[in-house]
Chains A and B, each alone.
Chain A
Amino acid sequence: GNSVTQMEGPVTLSEEAFLTINCTYTATGYPSLFWYVQYPGEGLQLLLKATKADDKGSNKGFEATYRKETTSFHLEKGSVQVSDSAVYFCALSKYNNNDMRFGAGTRLTVKP
């Protein structure tokens, strides 16, 4: 079945460090891929998305490229800030929006 695997955390970085959170997926066909962010005590917010191969999603300095050949959607940011501290979820969706699958989440802590 469809599934998402993302790197386990927690990840701790210093401010302005480079961030990579790996995400790979297993799916038939062509899923849409997402990164969601969850700040403490809140629900999930869509960070970025890509709906077809080679698309690059970007938002707030974060980027992820849909790589069909490696079935990956790694999240990157060139210079993290303390305010980026949150839990990040990779997800995929197929079939009319009714089959969203989430990774386990990666907790990021950015220290000043």
Chain B
Amino acid sequence: GAVVSQHPSRVICKSGTSVKIECRSLDFQATTMFWYRQFPKQSLMLMATSNEGSKATYEQGVEKDKFLINHASLTLSTLTVTSAHPEDSSFYICSAPGDNYGYTFGSGTRLTVV
């Protein structure tokens, strides 16, 4: 079945640095990738939708200059958290539309900013 590979699974970075998270569709082409943020014990919050070959669409309240999204190819989408701060610490998950209206999720990235 469709697989989305997300890396890294965990990352710890210092305040002020940038972190890049990658999501790759392994055996299918993903023209669209969704990026979510999940706070502890809460549901997924859609941050943005990336589309191959065009600019990402950000949800209201999400800073596009802070969360840079690049959909470089049909199999790769990246989220870069720029100038990270402790409040950016969270669990970030990507997903791509699969068949029959389901989504295929990456395994998530636990970001800790110290």
A interface, CB within 8 angstroms of B: 32, 34, 36, 41-46, 49, 51, 89, 93, 96-98, 100, 102-105, 107
Contact = CB atoms under 8 A, between A and B. Distances in A.
Contacts of A41: 108, 110
A32 B108 contact: no
B110 A44 contact: no
Given A36-B105, A46-B102, 10 more contacts: A32-B102, A44-B95, A44-B105, A46-B104, A49-B100, A51-B100, A89-B43, A96-B97, A97-B98, A103-B43
Contacts of A45: 105
B89 to A, nearest CB: 15
Contacts of B100: 32, 49, 51
Given A42-B108, A43-B108, A105-B42, A100 B103 contact: yes
A104 B43 contact: yes
Interface residues of B, number: 22
A98 B101 contact: no
B25 interface: no
Interface string B28-42: 000010100000011
A107 B41 contact: yes
